[in-house]
């Protein structure tokens, strides 16, 4: 008695396995944002007694007497508010990451917008840090020390700006990838 040959698999194109890189990115971002918010809230708790201490008040007075940049003087004068503002700045990313992790359309769109906004904002923060450092270095007075510090500032700024541009490109690529039809169709 003969046996029938085994049935062959259909010859049509096999669909490739669906890779899901979105949920791990969303979960990672969610956890990082939660950790950052917790960090800034703890920082605010520590800044509360430190900000009212005599040494801190002397630093604030020194900054005012020496005409440090106004933004830096404000941050030194209001360390609790600065920490709370930084925590509040992380909340939109936390909510957006949660929405993306849960697979909502608003989560996807807000996450993409925040990628673009933070890519640009990081470059702005790097520029602000450079301006503050340049103003503080200008207060030193000794030409050889100013020249050495200015060289270090330029190297630091180039490194930070290069990193910001690299991350902006990566964030732009991720935003583009998330808006591709294969990803958008899932939301």
Distance CA 58, CA 146 (A): 25
Residue 10 clears pLDDT 80, i.e. is over it: no
pLDDT value at 168 more than 70: yes
Can you tell me the distance from the alpha carbon of 180 to that of 171, in angstroms, rounded to the nearest whole number?
Answer: 14
**Residue for token pair 């941050």:** 75
Each residue's pLDDT tens digit, 107-138 = 999 999 999 999 999 999 999 999 999 999 98
User: Could you give the CA distance from residue 139 to residue 72 in angstroms, rounded to a whole number?
Assistant: 14
pTM for the whole thing? 0.79
d(CA 167, CA 173): 10
Beta strands in 27-152 (DSSP E): none
Mean pLDDT on 13-17 = 51
């Amino acid at each position: 008695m003969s046996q029938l040959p085994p049935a062959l698999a259909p010859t049509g194109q096999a669909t490739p396995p669906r890779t899901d890189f979105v949920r791990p990115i969303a979960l990672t971002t969610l956890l990082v944002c939660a950790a950052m918010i917790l960090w800034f809230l703890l920082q605010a708790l520590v800044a509360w007694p430190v900000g009212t201490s005599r040494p801190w008040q002397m630093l604030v007075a020194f900054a005012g007497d020496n005409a440090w940049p106004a933004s830096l003087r404000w941050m030194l004068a209001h360390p609790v508010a600065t920490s709370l503002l930084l925590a509040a700045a992380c909340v939109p990313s936390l909510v957006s990451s949660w929405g993306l992790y849960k697979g909502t359309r608003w989560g996807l769109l807000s996450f993409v917008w925040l990628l673009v906004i933070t890519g640009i904002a990081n470059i702005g923060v790097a520029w602000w840090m450079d301006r503050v450092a340049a103003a503080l270095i200008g207060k030193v007075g000794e030409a050889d020390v100013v020249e050495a510090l200015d060289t270090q500032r330029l190297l630091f700024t180039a490194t930070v700006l290069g990193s910001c541009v690299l991350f902006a490109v990566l964030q732009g690529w991720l935003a583009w990838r998330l808006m591709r039809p294969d990803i958008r169709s899932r939301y």
